[in-house]
Structure 1
């Protein structure tokens, strides 16, 4: 008489647990590209620490002082291309 266990290549409980784990485990998503190209003219919100004299200089003409700081900084950045 043949042994019943010899006909089963794997433990049914382990096979069921492995199938359940495979069905319920999330596959890792591909990582987001680390270097995203920003849209031309796109701006980012940042926190920047400035000397009070610098801040006063740009704020003295009223609203738009952040744009004026941005314009001044752009003149210091070399153009690409």
Structure 2
């Protein structure tokens, strides 16, 4: 399964702090910064995301239209509803 990540996560300069499972079923794994452009986004496999940060396994049952965020990598994920 393809997953969207920001270049900060892919290059391991920042941790995954913001995750969404959108209405199309796509997953996004981002660093939590809000200034990303299309050039910052990369597509990798879900397996590659898990290899970058296995704590995302905690979100494997997260339904569509839900996201989760945290302030630091060792904090518990806080779910939120994605508004359309």
The question of a shared fold, defined as TM-score above 0.5 by the shorter chain, is answered with no
TM-score (norm 2): 0.19
TM-score (norm 1): 0.19
Q: Which has the higher contact order (CA 8 A, sep 6+)?
A: 2
| Bigger radius of gyration among the two | 1
Richer in helix (by share): 1
